[in-house]
Amino acid sequence: MSTERYYTPVDRLLLQANTALRTLLPFSGQPYRPSPADTREDTPLAADEARHVAGLMRINHTGEVCAQALYQGQALTAKLPEVRAAMEQAAEEEIDHLVWCERRIRELGSRPSVLNPLFYGLSFGVGAVAGLISDKVSLGFVAATEDQVCKHLDEHLGQLPAEDSKSRAILEQMRVDEEHHATNALEAGGLRFPAPVKFGMTLLSKVMTKTTYRL
């Protein structure tokens, strides 16, 4: 007898609403792993450095909000149960990043982006559409998105003050996880997007980073 729990469409919508609230409401998420920053020394930063790092971490936090929405949208419309399960598992792992970034932003005396609800809604819609097209496209979109995230993380790691070991530890672990998600998506049969599509995604990501750095 199968032990897999059956969810009705209403159940899934309620689960989606719960996930959206946990993603968007302050301090509502619970990480599955402790933050890598917990074992690092908290070295005071100059005021301008703290503002810059907070802006970078705000970008990364919004990126995790988008990732949550993307995965949830894809899980809602995925054709195969194993693809849906993979999307839901990836979303759970991204919760760690979400919480780690928010805590670091607060430690730096700032707050997450006020545009997060907008980006959540847009990303959820994109994920749902990708899932409706096909699981292959959906998985390919994950891989391409995570590739963009890794590039942003590399850029941000290069901009962190040398003494900010807390933020560095968070971003380094996030990069490891994101690269793993991209690899898993391709190995599961994800479509490798052509260069023009990736270029378009890069332009859209620049809009997100420019607006959320300050807002």
* Binding-site annotation: residue ranges for Fe cation: 64, 94, 97, 146, 178, 181
Contact yes or no for 121/69 (Cβ under 8 A): yes
Measure the CA–CA gap between 134 and 114, rounded to whole angstroms: 32
φ, ψ dihedrals at 27, nearest 5°: 60, 25
Enumerate the known binding-site residues: 64, 94, 97, 146, 178, 181
Measure the CA–CA gap between 115 and 21, rounded to whole angstroms: 15
Measure the CA–CA gap between 151 and 15, rounded to whole angstroms: 31
Measure the CA–CA gap between 64 and 62, rounded to whole angstroms: 5
